[in-house]
Amino acid sequence: MKIITNTLGVGNYKHINYEDANTVVVVNAKNPTIGLLRIEEGEDEVEAVKSYLAQITLGCNYRYEIVKKIGNTYFCN
C-alpha cells in the first residue's frame, strides 16, 4: 500500500497525481481527513486500509475502525 496523499495538513492539491490512487479512505465524519491510497493487486485491501488507519493515529490514544465500504471508498470513525 502506498499513501498518495491525505488531507491532513495538505494545503495545495495541484501537484497530486490522483490517477495513481485506487482507494479512498474518509476518516472522522465531524472533521474529515481524506486519504488517497494505491493498493497493489493481490494485496489485501481491508488490511491495507487498517494499516493506513494505524499510521495516521500513531502516538494517539484512540483508533479508527472501518464503518462502511461503498465501491472503493471506506468510511471510518
Q: What is the pLDDT of residues 31-71, one digit of tens each?
A: 888 899 999 999 999 999 999 999 988 888 888 999 999 99
CA distances from 61 to 1, 18, 29, 47, 76 (A): 24, 31, 18, 21, 16
CA-wise closest residue to 36 among 51, 50, 52? 52
Q: The pTM is what?
A: 0.85
> Is residue 12 very low, low, confident or very high in pLDDT (cuts 50, 70, 90)?
low
pLDDT given for residue 50 in this prediction: 95
Sheet with strand 33-38: strands edge to edge: 2-6, 33-38, 23-27, 73-76, 66-70
Please, what sign has the CA dihedral across residues 49, 51, 53, 55?
negative
